[in-house]
Amino acid sequence: MNLTLKQYIDSVNDWSLNVKDVINHYINKAKEQNSQTFSFVRFHEDYVSSHIDDLITKPLHGAPIGLKDIILTKWYISSCGSKMMEDFISPYSATCFETLEKNGGLMIGKANMDEFAMGSSTETSYFGKTINPHGIDRVPGGSSGGSAAAVAADLCIAALGTDTGGSVRQPASFCGIVWLKPTYGRVSRYGVQSMASSLDQVGVMTKTVEDAGILLKAISWHDTHDAQSCVEADTWQEPKYKNETWKPKLALPKEALGEGLDERIKVRFIEMIEKLRDLWWEIEEIDLPIMGYAVPMYYTLMPAEVSTNLARFDGIRFGLQDDTTKYKDISEYYQKVRSEGFGEEVKRRILLGTFVLSSANYEWYYLKAQQAREQLKADFSKIFQKYDAIITPTTPTLPGKIWEKINDPLTMYLEDMYTIPANMAWIPAMSVPWWMIEENGEMLPMGIQLMCDKWEEEKLLELGWVVEKLK
Ligand code: GLN
Q: From the alpha carbon of 144, which atom of ligand 1 is closest? A: 9
Return the pLDDT at 412: 80
How many angstroms separate the alpha carbon of residue 338 from the centre of ligand 1? 21
Q: Which of 39, 78, 120, 167 is catalytic?
A: 167
Q: Is 68 a catalytic residue?
A: yes
Whether 387 shows a pLDDT value over 80: the answer reads yes
How many angstroms separate the alpha carbon of residue 282 from the centre of ligand 1? 32
How many angstroms separate the alpha carbon of residue 48 from the centre of ligand 1? 30
Q: From the alpha carbon of 298, which atom of ligand 1 is closest? A: 10
Return the pLDDT at 243: 76
Question: What does the alpha-carbon distance between residue 147 and residue 160 come to, in Å, rounded to a whole number?
Answer: 7
**Distant-in-sequence, close-in-space partners of 358: CB < 8 Å, separation ≥ 6:** none
Hey, where are the domains in the chain?
Answer: 1-471
Mutate to test the pocket of ligand 1, among 115, 124, 167 (most ligand atoms within 8 A of CB): 167
- If pLDDT is split at 50, 70 and 90, which confidence band does 163 have? very high
- pLDDT above 70 covers a percentage of the chain that reads 100
More confident residue, 403 or 377: 377
Q: Is 143 a catalytic residue?
A: yes
Take atom 4 of ligand 1 and give the residue whose Cα is closest: 119
The amino acid present at 153, given as its one-letter code, is: A
**Distant-in-sequence, close-in-space partners of 309: CB < 8 Å, separation ≥ 6:** 194, 195, 196, 197
Burial of 328 (0-12, 13-18, 19+ CB in 10 A): exposed
How many angstroms separate the alpha carbon of residue 222 from the centre of ligand 1? 25
Looking at 3.40.50.80, 1.10.645.10, 3.90.1300.10, 3.40.50.2300, the CATH number of the domain 1-471 comes to 3.90.1300.10
Q: What is the mean pLDDT of residues 218-235?
A: 93
Question: What does the alpha-carbon distance between residue 5 and residue 14 come to, in Å, rounded to a whole number?
Answer: 14
Task: Give this prediction's pTM.
Answer: 0.96
More confident residue, 225 or 415: 225
Whether 409 shows a pLDDT value over 80: the answer reads no
Return the pLDDT at 298: 97
More confident residue, 167 or 468: 468
- If pLDDT is split at 50, 70 and 90, which confidence band does 54 have? very high
Mean confidence (pLDDT) of the chain: 95
Express each pLDDT in 179-226 by its tens digit. 999 999 999 999 999 999 999 999 999 999 999 999 999 999 999 999
Question: What does the alpha-carbon distance between residue 30 and residue 109 come to, in Å, rounded to a whole number?
Answer: 9
How many angstroms separate the alpha carbon of residue 142 from the centre of ligand 1? 7
How many angstroms separate the alpha carbon of residue 349 from the centre of ligand 1? 11
Contact residues of ligand 1, CB 6 A cut-off: 117-120, 143, 162-167, 195, 302, 416
Mutate to test the pocket of ligand 1, among 115, 164, 415, 417 (most ligand atoms within 8 A of CB): 164
Express each pLDDT in 263-318 by its tens digit. 999 999 999 999 999 999 999 999 999 999 999 999 999 999 999 999 999 999 89
Return the pLDDT at 238: 84
- pLDDT above 90 covers a percentage of the chain that reads 91
Q: Which of 82, 120, 125, 143 is catalytic?
A: 143
Return the pLDDT at 71: 98
For residue 191, give the 3-state DSSP assignment.
coil
How many angstroms separate the alpha carbon of residue 117 from the centre of ligand 1? 6
Q: What is the mean pLDDT of residues 29-43?
A: 97
Burial of 378 (0-12, 13-18, 19+ CB in 10 A): exposed
Rg (CA), the chain: 21
Return the pLDDT at 65: 98
The DSSP call for residue 435 is E
25's enclosing H/E stretch is helix 19-37
Q: What is the mean pLDDT of residues 3-18?
A: 95
Whether 136 shows a pLDDT value over 90: the answer reads no
Q: From the alpha carbon of 345, which atom of ligand 1 is closest? A: 4
Would you say the C-alpha torsion 18, 19, 24, 27 has a positive or negative sign? positive
How many angstroms separate the alpha carbon of residue 316 from the centre of ligand 1? 27
Q: From the alpha carbon of 412, which atom of ligand 1 is closest? A: 1
CB 389, CB 259: distance < 8 Å: no
**Distant-in-sequence, close-in-space partners of 14: CB < 8 Å, separation ≥ 6:** none
- If pLDDT is split at 50, 70 and 90, which confidence band does 363 have? very high
Question: What does the alpha-carbon distance between residue 280 and residue 283 come to, in Å, rounded to a whole number?
Answer: 9
